Structure formats: structure tokens, C-alpha cells
Amino acid sequence: MSQLVADLVSVENDEGAAPGGRAIPPRSAAQKRRRRKETLSAYAFLSPWLLGLLAIVLGPMLASLYLSFTRYDLIGTPEFIGLDNYVRMLFEDPRFYRTVGVTAMYTLISVPAILIFSLLLAMFLNRGIRFLGIYRALFYLPSLLGGSVAIAVLWLQVFGSEGIFNAVLALVGIDGPSWIGSPSYALLTVIALSVWTFGSTMVIFLAGLRQIPDTYYEAASLDGASKFRQFLSITLPHLTPVIFFNGLLTIVNALQSFTPAYVISGGTGQPADSLLLYTVYLYLRGFVDFQMGYASALAWGLLLALAAITALLFWSTRFWVFYGEDS
Amino acid sequence: MNRSRTMTMASAAIIAVLGLSACAGGGGGGGETTAPEAEIGGEIQYAWWGGPARNEKTQAVIDLYQEANPEVTVQGTTAEFAAYFEQATVQAAGKNLPCVPQMQNRLMADYADRGALMPLDDLVDSGAIDVSNIPESVLESGRGSDGNLYMIPYGAAFGSMIVNTTQVEAAGLDLPPEGYDWDWLAEWGADLTKAQGKPSLDLVRSQTDSLEAWMRSHGKDLYEDGQLGFDEGDLVDFWDYVTDLQDSGVAIPAETASEQNSLPLEQLGVSTGNQATVVWPANGLGTAQATIDAAAPGNTLATYPLPTGPDGYGNAFWVSGLAISANCSNVPTAASFIDFFVNDPEAATVYASDNGANVNTENLQLILDDEATTPAKKAELELYAFVADQDVAPAVYGKGYASIFQQNLPRFYQQVAFGELSSKEAAKQFIQEAEAVLG
């Protein structure tokens, strides 16, 4: 890590030493001393961030790695038990597979839904309509609110069996079910809440759309290509880097989603474990069952899964992501 | 606060702690060292659970205490019941539990067994905390599995059936008679549902309290000697009883039960006039009545004991009290605050048994005689006296209550209610998991 930082710092110094691309003169001892001094001051400036990284991110992460090999009830002393937690996770805990199933279902539905929905809206907003700024702000608003406890509580009221949503359905003669209390619908309700927070993906798509040169579209329409054809052959290929970026972020977010499912299920993952997202399960094991060692193992399981999925996605880019003609 | 004063207080606190540990080390001989006034001072944190109404009452008690002890600052923190205990877990792990955390006998074992609370026996022996007006049987519920006293009880709550008497009478039915049993309840509920055209009973939403009453009225209990106090067959009997009521539309359906599991009383049907009964701690009556007075005026609510079974009444007392955390550095002040909270007559009338009937017998009488006590609160306290007279066996709770009964029980029942598991299979899995927790 610090080697990487040092490399970055020295690259910057190289550029600083040779402004305007002039030839670099041979280094004298004095220059070397100055460079070392600069490196040191760079570290000094970086130190608050480095300290934060060590104390707030890396420290706890390493602690949780250790704890994942222990039995730890939060208050007593951790007791080393080797790989027992991981063995239990993979072979002895049916609820682990339940939560993996729920989380996979959540991710597989919500990620494509968010991507498609926000892309459609971005394309709609990209047509140079009036009051664009206002629409963009309005559509972005849910993203600022969506992950919050307040909205999850509101969602409870809207989608309860006697909530507003069913009241509206009743107007057209439909007797709606309990969208939150029934295991068949609860996850879909939470997915709907996640799709509703499409704002940031939409803004990134909009930026991506703006970057596609108009000349392509002009040429295509001269050749008589339909709008749909233009979308398939111009818009989509040019957007693939943005789709990749948005897709990666949305997947990582989805796998770590916690607040909406936690609030809507009253902190239990109910009904019948249908809202038992991975992080909710991890939380329950750690803070309700006092099995912090096992919860740490679950956290590392998630981290490894995230790393594997991210690596797979990066590897797959060579087949579908288009970075322009020159690449 | 100036620096020298802080220093004085800090050193006073240190001396006090040293004094106490010396006292503890000295064994029985240290009983005479009554905490002198000079050691009380500085700041302590007091944390409790409850809604807005209780927060106001608690703050009033704190204000009274600070008036009587101007050298002390009590910092109060509060949260709803479930959130409170989640927070307390994390704080206990970080060894920064507030000096005086509110506790309850049902959940205390998870803290006391792990050394997060301080044994209070020495403070009681030294006279720093006076428990002479608390009945011995109630004081017992503050003891941990090692026999030490970890909590000074102040309020006893218990499960009850809150009934909308106006609606029951409008349906032409009788109110629950003394000693009504589970079979009577099923028939009565069916009649009420028929008359009203909607579910009238709620035994399944947060079913731990119903289950406890069922087990105790059938000669069993949630815990016995730290292990589960009932077996698979007992649980299947209870679940079959409630699923029958659910399937026939007498009890609220599983979807509604799941949806309402974490809602506060104010938002439940019984408080809004949409449902005739609910199983809820009797000390909720005042809140429910106040809510329905605004939402559907003209309805009167009343509390009844939970149904009886072959072994009589199934009620258990859930005793709340005050503890001192193991990491508290200002023990004399914490003890003095607890003593005030439990014994001061003015504090008792201000708090008005908000978290269950005051267990200090003299103060309970004061509240009953107080003109400011609402009719709903008086009714609840009279019911407490009635239930206490029924020879209720003390309920002793083992560890893992939150995990086993607040999380796993509703979860496995939902799998039965939504048709994923048979009641027999679910009961088997429930018992297995509970035994794994209890070890």
C-alpha cells in the first residue's frame, strides 16, 4: 500500500521536475536530497488520511479477520477455534444458504431493474426538453432519501395491508395483499424501494450520453437508420464503459444493502426470512445472538464474494466494453 | 465546571471506587462502611427504554434527584425497547455501558452472566441502596444465575388481554369472566369475529407473551434451570391452537401479524378502534386508551389477565429495574441515584408506575391514593394486585431470551403459518436452535 503511494508521489515529482517535456538533467546529490524531503512532506500531508485508513478501516478489518477464527460473545475474551466458523457457515448452517439465496435474488432483480430504469430516464432527459435542470433535481431527490430509515418507515405505511397503495388499488376494485407481511411480496417491495433510488446511476448515464458525438447520429439518420437501430448500434456500444461502471457500483451496493430490509422487517428478516439479506443476517448473528466470531466469518465471506464478482466483471469487460476505436 | 472542582470530583470518585473494592475484598466485615455524602457527586449516565410519555416522567425524576443533590449531573439517554438492548450490547462490548443502565429480568442474564454488570449486594448491605420496601420474591428477580444481585427492581409489568369493552358489549357478548381459559377465549373470539365480520384476537403478532402464558398455565415455563422449560410437543400444541384460530379468521392472519410485529401499541388496531382485543403488557392500557380517545372517541378499553389453563393463571411478572455497569467509575453516585429512584415518594408519584406497577409497596399505595393517577393506571394497578394474589410463580429467565424468543420463535412460527414447515418440523428445529444457544 505505502509502496503504491510512494510510486504515485514519485511520478508526480518526475512531472514536476520536467515541466513542458524538457529533457531531464542528471540527478545531483542535492536534488536527491530535495526529492527525499518532498517525499517526506508528501507523507506528512497524507498522514491524516493514512492514519484514518489504518485506524478506521484496516485495523478493524484485520481485527475482524482474527475474530472470524474465534468464538467471541462480544463481552468475554475471544477463544481461538480455527476454521470452525467457516465450516459451520458452509456446511452446517441452512440459514446461510437461505440468506445467500435471498441476497442473490435481490441483486439479480434489482440491479438490472435499476440500470434499465435509470438509462431510460436518462435518455428521456437527454432530449433537450425544457426545465431539464428541475427534472434532473427532482429525479435525483429519491437517491438522497432512499437509503434512509425515514423512507423505509414511510414505505411500511404505503405498502402495509391497509396502506395507501392498497387504498389506490381498492379504487379500481383490486383487493391488494399485504406487500410487506407476505413472504411472496416482501422482497419485491424492498426491491421497488431500491429501484426508486435510481438518481445517481441516472446522472452518470446522462453524462455518458452527452459524450457521444452527434456526428454518429447524423450519419446514421442520413443512412436511414431507425431510432431503435441507432440506440443499438451507437448509444449502447458507446455507453458500455458507463454501464460497466454503474453495474459494478450497483452490484456492490446491492450485496451490501441493509437499512431498507432491516427497517421494513423490524430488524428480523421476516416474514419467514424472506427479507433476510446477507448483511441483516450478519447483524442478527453478531448483535442479537452475540456470535461475533461467526458474524466476522460471514463478513469475510461477503468480502471474498464481492472481490470475486468484481474480478469476474473486470475480466468480462474485454468481451463487451467498448472504449472507443483507438483502444 | 471549573478545573479544580472536576479534579476534586475525579479524586473523590477514585477514592470511592478504591474504598468499595477494599470493602468487597474485606468480605462480610465491610458491611458497616455506609457511603458518606461527600463521595456523591460528579456526572453519571442513566439509560432507559420507552416512548415520549415515559421519557418525560423519567426526566422529571432526574430533575427531582438533581434538586436534592445539586452536586450531581445525571445524563439521560433513551431508546425504544428493542433498540435499547441492541445499543446496550454494543456498549457492553466496548466497556462503555452507561453507569446506570435500566434492565429487565427477561434480558438481564445476557449482561449479568458475562460480567457487564456489577454485583450490588455490598451496596445493599452497606445501606447505600435501601430495598426494605421491596418484597423478597420481587427482589429475587434481580439475581443472576450466580446468586448475586445485579438489578434493583422498581416496576413489575405483566401480559394482559386489552379488550375494547364498548365493542364487545355492542356485539352482545359477555366480557371475559374471572379465570376464563384458552377454550373459552377461542369460542368467545369466534363469536366476536362473527358479530364484527373481522378478526378479533391477536395472539400471534409478537407471540412470546402468549406462549409464556400458555406454557405457565399448562405447568411449564419458558426456562427451567437455565434450559428450555418445555418440549416439542408443548410447542406444537400451542401452535396448533393459534393456527386453528388464524385459519378460521378469528385471529389476525399471518401477513398482518408479521407486518405489525415491530409496531408500537399506538399503531395497532386496538388503539385505533379497528380490533377488539390485543395481548399487550397491562401498563400499555393508559397509552392505548389515550390513543383511542383521539382516534375513535367513545370506546373504553380494559385489561384482563391472560387466560388460565389446567394449572391456573399463566401470567408472569416482567420486572424492570436499575443496575450498575461493571465499568462505572462513580459507583457511590450511581447507588445514590438508584436509591432515590426506588424509594423517594415524590419520584414514585411523578413516575406513576409507568414501567409496571411500583414494586416498593409503600410507594405503590401512594400512587393508588394519588388523585392525579388516571383511572386506566388505577385499573392496571388493581389488576396487578389481583394477579399478584394468584400465587404467580416467580419467572426465572435464562440467557438468550432475545435470540430464542424474540427472533427465533416468530420466525419458525411464520414458516408454519405460511405453509413452509409443519408445526412438528418447525418445533423440532426451534428446539434444536434454542439448545444450541443455551449450550
Mean pLDDT score of chain B, rounded to an integer?
87
Residue B258 to residue A273, Cβ atoms within 8 A = no
User: Position B169: which residue type?
Assistant: E
DSSP string over B4-71? HHHHHHHHHHHHHHHHHHHHHHTGGGGGG-PPPGGG--EEEEEEEE--HHHHHHHHHHHHHHHHH-TT
Residues of chain A with Cβ-Cβ distance to B418 below 8 Å are 182-183, 271-272
Choose the closest CB to A289 out of B111, B403, B420.
B403
CB proximity B114 to A under 8 Å: yes
pLDDT tens, position by position, A185-242: 999 999 998 888 888 899 899 999 988 998 999 999 999 989 999 999 999 999 999 9
Choose the closest CB to A271 out of B402, B414, B437.
B414
Percentage of chain A lying above the pLDDT 70 cut: 90
Once rounded to an integer, what is the mean pLDDT over residues A133-141? 82
Closest CA–CA distance from residue A76 to any residue of chain B (Å): 6
- DSSP letter at B265 equals G
> Are A243 and A145 in a shared domain?
yes
Residues of chain B with Cβ-Cβ distance to A266 below 8 Å are 261-262
Whether the per-residue pLDDT at A289 is higher than 70: the answer is yes
Residue B411 to residue A273, Cβ atoms within 8 A = yes
Nearest chain A residue to B268 by CA: give it: A162
Residues 6+ apart with CB under 8 A from A166: A159, A160, A175, A176, A179
CATH topology of domain B3-154+320-385: D-Maltodextrin-Binding Protein; domain 2 (3.40.190)
Structural domain boundaries enclosing A147: 87-320
Residue A161 to residue B92, Cβ atoms within 8 A = no
Note the CATH architecture for domain B158-317+392-438. 3-Layer(aba) Sandwich (3.40)
pLDDT band at B387 (very low <50, low <70, confident <90, very high): confident
> Are A102 and A200 in a shared domain?
yes
| Test the B interface: residue of A276, A280, A289 with most B CBs within 10 Å | A289
Closest CA–CA distance from residue B94 to any residue of chain A (Å): 8
Number of domains into which chain A is organized: 2
pLDDT tens, position by position, B307-358: 999 999 988 899 999 999 999 999 999 999 999 999 999 999 999 888 889 9
Range 63-92 of B in CB contact (< 8 A) with A: 82, 86, 89-90, 92
Q: Where are the domains of chain B?
A: 3-154+320-385, 158-317+392-438
- Residue B19 CA to residue A26 CA, distance in Å, equals 73
pLDDT tens, position by position, A201-210: 998 999 999 8
| Test the A interface: residue of B259, B263, B274, B428 with most A CBs within 10 Å | B259
Closest CA–CA distance from residue B417 to any residue of chain A (Å): 9
User: Is the ipTM above a cut-off of 0.90?
Assistant: no
A74, part of any domain: no
Sign of CA dihedral B70, B75, B76, B82: negative
A244, part of any domain: yes
> Are A166 and A293 in a shared domain?
yes
> Are A119 and A216 in a shared domain?
yes
Cβ contacts from A onto B, under 8 A: 87
Whether the per-residue pLDDT at A18 is higher than 60: the answer is no
* Residue B345 CB neighbour total at 10 angstroms: 12
> Are A211 and A241 in a shared domain?
yes
> Are A8 and A60 in a shared domain?
yes
Choose the closest CB to A267 out of B110, B259, B262.
B262
